[in-house]
Structure 1
Amino acid sequence: MPSEASVSSKEMLTGQRLCHSKSHQDSVLSALNQQRKDGQLCDVTLVAGEQKFHAHKAVLAACSDYFRAMFSLCMVESEADEVTLQGVTSVGLKHALDFAYTGQILLEPAVIQDVLSAGSHLQLLELLSLCSHYLIQELSSVNYLELYRVADLFHLPALEEAVVGFLVEHLSELSQSRQDEAQQLPYRLLREVLKSDRLTSLSEEEIWKLVVLWLEHDCRYQYTEDLLQHVRYGLMDVPTLHHLAHSHPLVQSSPIAAALVDEALDYHHATFAQPLHQSAITGPRFQSLTLYIIGGRKREVSRVRELRYFNPSAQEHVRVAGGSNWSELAAMPTGRSHHCVAVMGNFLFVVGSLGGGRLHNFHNFYNICTVTDSFLFSSGQNESGVAVHDDRIYVVGGYSIWTNEPLACIQVLDLSAEGKEEVFYGPTLPFASNGIATCFLPAPHFTCPNLQTLQVPHHRMGAV
């Protein structure tokens, strides 16, 4: 044996580490559950109906605000060995306790109502969440109305949202083949469906007719103004709006509806100001964002007029990329390439182009919903950078149609004031450039730029 004293463990170890057992939590909970089943070390007995259940107060209080208050706020039950629960069935309590001790529950139609009642009464929020998820998976055209009532009764917002989404997707089918059922929809459910941006299976005129039929059924005119304000009149065509304004009794009897129709007519008449007039009655309904392709050049000679967007929904079972996945909107007046685009207020602005061996010095804009286009202003440039900020489109740099050389200017299309739309030059770039990219982002923290210098005209070009 060496005579020197052995080195202590403190001198051999160098650091501090947090060590974690992956099985400890599960094993403790499993042991507690076994104690519950064996009736060992339990300190309370719960009674529901004529059945008794052993449990641990600490476990119950950890899972439920209801039990935490019962056992810790000097209530009578806090000292009792046996507690009778009212409003909870023995089936519901059994499943609730199984969940509290295992984190698992077997749900089926025969027990779901009892489990929901127990979870709601005992404030077992995680249990209610699992019940909600189970019911969402069971959602169908047969039970959606009943599940909506369940969601309302037990305050299950995820289930309610799922029912609304389901009806949004199937409202066209319902209105065409099951009109009686459509007229029986609960008011709140119909209102939430009408508010959805994803309601694309019906045209706005068809949505209007559905709402009118619902109001006329059983004379539910007390909901007229609340429901009619969720119809997007700006998506209707002008002849339809004129007919509603002058001939429909509901519009003539409702000042709010009449004002909304008039607002939509003003929106259609103010073509150049439409990007600034986006509101609840003009916003497009759409399922999701998608990819648009505008113009382009085929094989060096043919320039494309079409405006297309990616739309695989028409062929849901086709998973290969190809022409069948692209839908077409209205064509542009002429083929374009080397142009730029910007989006503002759900409008697509197409800026400049090269086509047919020459530059096009005009700009178009397109309403993605109604697919209209109008000429806006001359610019004489292409291959510019384009960015949008505060109702203004900034066209930066580019290649000049007049001098055949890069530009150092910034042109601004200002749509911020209705009736005073104009185009003007902003400050010059540090160097002339075409093929440039531009965007608006937060400024670096060490700078403090003043955007007003970009927004004050340096040289006015004229009104739109």
Structure 2
Amino acid sequence: METIQDVVCAASHLQISSALALCETFLRDEISLDNCLYIMNLCTTFGLKQLAKEATDFIAKIFQDLVQKKSDQILDLTWEEFLPILQNNKLNASELQIFQTIVQWVEHDREVRVYEAKYLLEAVRFPLMTWEELHSEVLTTKFVLRDKTAHARVSAGFSYHSTPLMHHLCQSPDSQVRADTESLVIMGGWMDEGRTAEVLFLNDSLEVPGWARLANMPVARAWHTVVMMDNFVYVLGGFAKGVLCASGLRYDPRFNTWMSIADMWEKRYEFPGVAWDGKILALGGSGLGKDTAEVESYTPDEDRWNTGTPLPRATHGHAAVVFHNKIYISEFTAAITKPNVIRTNNCDITCTRVPVTESPFVDSRTMQLVTQRERATPKDGSSTLEMPITGRWI
């Protein structure tokens, strides 16, 4: 490692691509907590863009350890070297920790860096800090408030917290969780000991992927439906506290918190929900001793449910998926599609049958429906109904 810079410099100057490739392999194999910042800067200097990106991702992953154990190396970075790390979407730190590290970096050479801090502050996602953190940490840091752009972004962070129900309309790059991959999450359900409020997600960032806990739901719940829209998770209906319910919850992954939303008009379980055209639709299900065909749509910014045209028949245990801007509902023997446009309160919906080549299942069962590249695939059922814009369910 002591001579690698000389080797890279010579190979780069002489344009010996095979030697540069060997250097990249060596650096990739040797990267560690102790040398990752050095390797990142070396690769940036000599134009090894792919390895520089990999080094930045590595730094982002171990950022908290780096701050705790190698803070002197971070404090010695120039703002140009520091900025790509702070902008990384995989940065493993809270926005408060990121902000505090920037403050430490400024104080390390305040006379010069107080004027450079504005570049680093652009990387802080202030809406992801809590109201208390903004008030106690950010507003007490004078060099932040002296910069008009930073001050405006801090104000936007406060505004974000003032209207929780409008969060889905206030999304911006600053309000996005730092993550480059989707997560698999399990919410509640039925266990041997009964209903559970546990929420688990599959943490595949570890060497050995495993399940980790998120904030529990306020109440244990089972036979509910889960819908994701605008990077919020909605839990609807099911059984809670031993009774069938119409209540709903919204989970915010930005703060790992739950809040209640308006109740549906009808209590139900074993029903699908989908996000479509800025609304959440609850489709059929089982109610108080009987199945229902009722369709309801939820508008988040109004926190209100409206009723729509019922399904052609009452059903439960079915599945639904959005595919090419249509909603496909799979029953025991059929699937139904929904049109490109729906009017809440007065939904006029028409369906037409689509031929299906697979043979029907001979037994009734609950189902799931998935999309696979350019095809919607019912996991049960024998036929599909396609709905153009003009009409009603059939």
- What TM-score bracket applies, with the shorter chain setting the length? 0.7 to 0.9
1:32-431 to 2 correspondences below 5 Å: 113-114=6-7, 117-119=10-12, 121-122=14-15, 128-200=20-92, 202-218=93-109, 219-244=112-137, 246-286=139-179, 288-299=181-192, 302-311=194-203, 325-379=210-264, 380-401=267-288, 404-415=289-300, 418=301, 420-431=302-313
Q: Closer, same or farther in 2 for the Cα pair 1:343/1:130, shift >3 Å?
A: farther
Q: Secondary structure at the match of 1:438?
A: strand
- Structure of higher CA gyration radius: 1
Q: Secondary structure at the match of 1:247?
A: coil
Where is the helix percentage greater, Structure 1 or Structure 2?
A: 1
Which residue does 1:458 correspond to in 2? 346
**Rounded Cα–Cα distance in structure 1 between residues aligned with 2:187 and 2:155:** 33
Q: Closer, same or farther in 2 for the Cα pair 1:433/1:125, shift >3 Å?
A: farther
Q: Closer, same or farther in 2 for the Cα pair 1:413/1:135, shift >3 Å?
A: same
Q: Is the 8 A contact 2:89 2:178 kept in 1?
A: yes
**Rounded Cα–Cα distance in structure 1 between residues aligned with 2:18 and 2:343:** 53
Q: Is the 8 A contact 1:424 1:458 kept in 2?
A: no
Q: Secondary structure at the match of 2:316?
A: coil
Deviates more, 1:214-223 or 1:234-243: 214-223
**Rounded Cα–Cα distance in structure 1 between residues aligned with 2:46 and 2:190:** 58
Q: Could you list the per-position Cα deviations for residues 95-143 of structure 1 after superposition, in whole angstroms to 9, with x for gaps in the alignment?
A: xxxxxxxxxxxxx976774465445544x65664453233222223343
Question: Could you list the runs of 5+ residues in structure 2 that have no partner in the other structure?
Answer: 327-336, 348-394
TM-score, normalisation: structure 1: 0.64
Which residue does 2:385 correspond to in 1? none
**Rounded Cα–Cα distance in structure 2 between residues aligned with 1:398 and 1:449:** 17
Q: Closer, same or farther in 2 for the Cα pair 1:183/1:421, shift >3 Å?
A: same
Q: Closer, same or farther in 2 for the Cα pair 1:223/1:449, shift >3 Å?
A: farther
Q: Closer, same or farther in 2 for the Cα pair 1:392/1:125, shift >3 Å?
A: farther
**Rounded Cα–Cα distance in structure 2 between residues aligned with 1:312 and 1:196:** 18
Q: Closer, same or farther in 2 for the Cα pair 1:186/1:162, shift >3 Å?
A: farther
TM-score, normalisation: structure 2: 0.75
**Rounded Cα–Cα distance in structure 2 between residues aligned with 1:127 and 1:328:** 46
Superposed CA RMSD:
3.0
1:308 positional shift = 2.1
Q: Closer, same or farther in 2 for the Cα pair 1:289/1:229, shift >3 Å?
A: same
**Rounded Cα–Cα distance in structure 1 between residues aligned with 2:199 and 2:225:** 13
Q: Is the 8 A contact 2:12 2:46 kept in 1?
A: no
**Rounded Cα–Cα distance in structure 2 between residues aligned with 1:236 and 1:434:** 41
1:297 positional shift = 1.5
> What code does the residue aligned with 1:168 have?
A
Q: Closer, same or farther in 2 for the Cα pair 1:112/1:177, shift >3 Å?
A: closer
Percent of matched pairs sharing the same residue: 26
Q: Secondary structure at the match of 1:398?
A: strand
Q: Is the 8 A contact 1:116 1:131 kept in 2?
A: no
Q: Secondary structure at the match of 2:160?
A: helix
Which residue does 2:376 correspond to in 1? none
**Rounded Cα–Cα distance in structure 1 between residues aligned with 2:33 and 2:121:** 26
Q: Secondary structure at the match of 1:185?
A: coil
Q: Is the 8 A contact 1:339 1:353 kept in 2?
A: yes
**Rounded Cα–Cα distance in structure 1 between residues aligned with 2:28 and 2:125:** 29
Q: Is the 8 A contact 1:244 1:251 kept in 2?
A: no
1:244 positional shift = 4.3
**Rounded Cα–Cα distance in structure 2 between residues aligned with 1:341 and 1:176:** 39
1:341 positional shift = 0.4
1:441 positional shift = 0.9
Q: Could you list the per-position Cα deviations for residues 292-349 of structure 1 after superposition, in whole angstroms to 9, with x for gaps in the alignment?
A: 22111123x72112222234778x56x8xxxxx4333332232211101011222211
Q: Is the 8 A contact 2:37 2:73 kept in 1?
A: no
**Rounded Cα–Cα distance in structure 1 between residues aligned with 2:42 and 2:203:** 36
> What code does the residue aligned with 1:195 have?
Q
Q: Could you list the per-position Cα deviations for residues 417-438 of structure 1 after superposition, in whole angstroms to 9, with x for gaps in the alignment?
A: x5x4432223332322212211
Matched, 1:432 2:314: yes
**Rounded Cα–Cα distance in structure 2 between residues aligned with 1:115 and 1:261:** 43
Q: Secondary structure at the match of 1:211?
A: helix
Q: Is the 8 A contact 1:349 1:366 kept in 2?
A: yes
Q: Could you list the per-position Cα deviations for residues 275-298 of structure 1 after superposition, in whole angstroms to 9, with x for gaps in the alignment?
A: 332322222234754332211112
Q: Closer, same or farther in 2 for the Cα pair 1:225/1:423, shift >3 Å?
A: farther
Q: Could you list the per-position Cα deviations for residues 435-454 of structure 1 after superposition, in whole angstroms to 9, with x for gaps in the alignment?
A: 2211111269xxx98522x2
**Rounded Cα–Cα distance in structure 1 between residues aligned with 2:141 and 2:105:** 15
Q: Is the 8 A contact 1:245 1:262 kept in 2?
A: no
Which residue does 2:388 correspond to in 1? none
